[in-house]
Amino acid sequence: MGIKSDKIWLDGEFVDFADANVHILTHSLHYGLAAFEGIRCYKRDDGRSAVFRLREHVERLRDSCHIGTFPLPWTEDEVIEACLETVRVNKFEDCYIRPLAFLGDGEMGLSAMSNKVRLAIIAWPWGTYLGDDGIKNGIRAKISSFSRHHVNSAMAKGKFTGQYINSILAKREAMADGYQEALMLDTNGFVSEGSGENVFVVYKDKIYTTTYHEAILGGITRDTIITLAKERGYEIVERRMTRDFLYVSDEIFVVGTAAEVTPIREVDRRQIGTGKPGPVTTELQKAYFDVVKGSAEDKHEWLTYV
């Protein structure tokens, strides 16, 4: 499916979709040091479009650049406004927003200290990432044969393009083997995250998720789900989880901006719970959709109306 929009924000100005090109010597294209975000804008029940947790995404973009030692030459407020303007000029009601900060051309050595930091913001309509059926009935996942990087190898708190090679290999392997998603273990063999999502497990009425201080991206949806679950009286346990804990769990679901809240009905050919989305998953999925696109009150100030 080709992506299409009218205008793309590039280094401070809007250019036509067809003209948003870079030079082949763009440093990030060669070595994979670029930071990006994935953000969703939804049309809510009141008919107005709102971007979900925009400021937190822009803060994480800034943090990624900081970890990657290429500070963003734009303030957070400027990036926020540019994201909103990109949605507006393209007249989108529901869309995905992709800011991408990258090192431009110039030096070709690895350090490339003098190369300009560039920023692109692209928006396009994007439906359910793991499929409408997946959201409703759950997906089949496989424990990947690829490990997540060691915490001192990849900087998992940064959302860097190069780190996604690991995710792509895992995702392609899972799909080639007939699964929809890959769940990844860390270098110690504990569950880290999906190829593009954080993982939650329901076991005997408690909700478990991998500790923030492991090799995982600090997901904004993860944080949202923790908040929504606590408000509904659930106990959240952040800890290391073993692979076989997943097999015996009652429910599993993965969360992310693209994947939203997607139930996992099977892991490595083992049925999870009843094999259908369980009550906790269903309740939290509904709570999530009520906030992002329903009519739930925005009591955490998570929404920025376009």
Residues 197, 257: Cα–Cα separation, whole Å? 8
Return d(Cα 280, Cα 250) in angstroms, integer: 10
Mask for 170-189, x = binds ligand PMP (CB under 6 A):
--------------------
Using the contact rule CB under 6 A, the part of the chain among 43-51, 77-85, 212-220, 236-244 near ligand PMP is 212-220
Q: What region does 259 belong to: left with phi over 0, alpha with psi -120 to 50, or beta?
A: alpha
Residue 105 · residue 25 · CB < 8 Å = yes
Q: Note whether 209 binds ligand PMP by CB under 6 A.
A: no
Considering beta carbons, is residue 80 or 112 the nearer one to ligand PMP?
80
Handedness of CA 56, 60, 66, 67 (dihedral sign): positive
Which CB sits closer to ligand PMP, 161 or 282?
Answer: 161
Interaction between residue 158 and ligand PMP (CB under 6 A): no
Q: Reduced to 3 states, what is the DSSP secondary structure of residue 101?
A: strand
Decide if residue 219 touches ligand PMP (CB under 6 A): yes
Q: In the structure encoding, which two tokens stand for residue 120, read together?
A: 């692109």
Q: Give the residue, chosen from 105, 193, 214, 251, that forms a contact with ligand PMP under the rule CB under 6 A.
A: 193
Helix or strand (DSSP H, E) at 79: helix 76-89
- What is the C-alpha separation between 200 and 194, in angstroms, rounded? 10
100 three-state secondary structure: strand
Nearer Cβ to ligand PMP (38/68): 38
171 catalytic residue (yes or no): no
**Beta strands 34-36 and 206-209, pairing class:** unpaired
Catalytic pick among 159, 206, 230, 286: 159
How many residues belong to the site for ligand PMP (CB under 6 A)?
A: 13
Can you tell me the distance from the alpha carbon of 74 to that of 22, in angstroms, rounded to the nearest whole number?
19
Complex with ligand PMP: residue 72 or 259, whichever CB lies closer = 259
**Dihedral of alpha carbons 134, 254, 83, 72, sign:** negative
Q: Which of 15-23, 100-108, 213-221, 230-238 is the region at the interface with ligand PMP (rule: CB under 6 A)?
A: 213-221
Q: Does 44 bind ligand PMP (CB under 6 A)?
A: no
Q: Does 138 bind ligand PMP (CB under 6 A)?
A: no
If binding is defined by CB under 6 A, does position 196 make contact with ligand PMP?
A: yes
Task: Give the torsion sign (CA, 121, 29, 144, 157).
Answer: negative
Contact between 198 and ligand PMP per CB under 6 A: yes
Q: How far is the CB of 79 from ligand PMP (least distance, A)?
A: 16
CB-wise, 44 or 222, nearer to ligand PMP?
A: 222
Closest approach, Cβ 96 to ligand PMP, in A, equals 11
State how far the Cα of 68 lies from the Cα of 155, in Å rounded to an integer: 9
Residues noted as catalytic: 159
Using CB under 6 A, list all residues that contact ligand PMP: 38, 167, 193, 196-198, 217, 219-222, 256-257
